[in-house]
């Protein structure tokens, strides 16, 4: 399984708050609806393809339906959240690792783990690496107090 990681990002919130919010994807639906007008046009067009439930995220992708579900067996409160591909063309996981720095600061690292065929790996590894880094940066910018 190939792994693509973000850089460590500092989040100015308590680890328990972050874990609670990120392990319940449905909290993002209200934020998206409230801020839809601020999103770039491309993002607004694609956001309709994403559904958030209490334990999963579903995406209508060009490769077909994709569903990521929180894996309670691999997740470990408050340090690790694991989303596994419940429905996807390839086996993969999305991991969010949280490390407390202080009572009000947490470091996070996001990782994508994929089982890619060799020929596909060469074609998409740069995009996956960039995607993992951007996802990690996005985690640090979320308004956890408003989720």
- State yes or no: pLDDT of 98 exceeds 90: yes
Q: Please compute the mean of the pLDDT values over residues 96-110 and round it to a whole number.
A: 97
* Domain ranges across the chain: 2-146
Confidence check: pLDDT of 13 > 80: yes
SS3 content of the chain, % helix, strand, coil (to 5): 35, 35, 25
The pLDDT assigned to 110 comes to: 96
Decide: 108 and 98 in contact? Cβ < 8 Å: yes
Indicate the pLDDT class of residue 22, thresholds 50, 70 and 90: very high
Arithmetic mean of pLDDT, 116-132: 87
pLDDT score, position 102: 97
Taking residue 73's Cβ as centre, other Cβ atoms within 10 Å add up to: 7
Question: What is the dotted CATH code of the domain comprising 2-146?
Answer: 3.30.530.20
Predicted confidence at residue 101, as pLDDT, reads 98
pTM attached to this predicted model:
0.86
Q: What is the mean pLDDT of residues 17-43?
A: 85
User: Phi and psi for 117 in degrees, rounded to 5?
Assistant: -60, 150
Q: What is the pLDDT of residue 104?
A: 96
Range ranked top by mean pLDDT from 34-38, 41-45, 88-92? 88-92
Report the C-alpha gap between 138 and 54 in whole angstroms: 20
Q: What is the pLDDT of residue 32?
A: 80
Residue 52 vs residue 102, higher pLDDT:
102
């Amino acid at each position: 399984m190939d792994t693509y990681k973000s850089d460590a990002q500092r989040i100015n919130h308590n680890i328990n708050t972050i874990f609670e919010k990120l392990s319940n994807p449905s909290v993002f639906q209200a934020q998206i609806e409230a801020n839809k007008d601020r999103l770039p046009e491309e993002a607004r067009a694609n956001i309709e393809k994403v559904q958030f439930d209490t334990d999963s995220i579903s995406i209508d992708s060009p490769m077909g339906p994709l569903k990521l579900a929180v894996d309670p067996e691999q997740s470990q409160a408050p340090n690790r959240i694991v989303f596994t591909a419940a429905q996807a063309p390839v086996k993969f996981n999305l991991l969010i690792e949280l490390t407390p720095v202080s009572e009000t600061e947490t470091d996070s690292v996001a990782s994508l783990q994929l089982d890619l065929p060799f020929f596909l790996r060469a074609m998409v590894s740069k995009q996956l690496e960039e995607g993992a880094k951007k996802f990690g940066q996005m985690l640090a910018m979320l308004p956890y107090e408003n989720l």
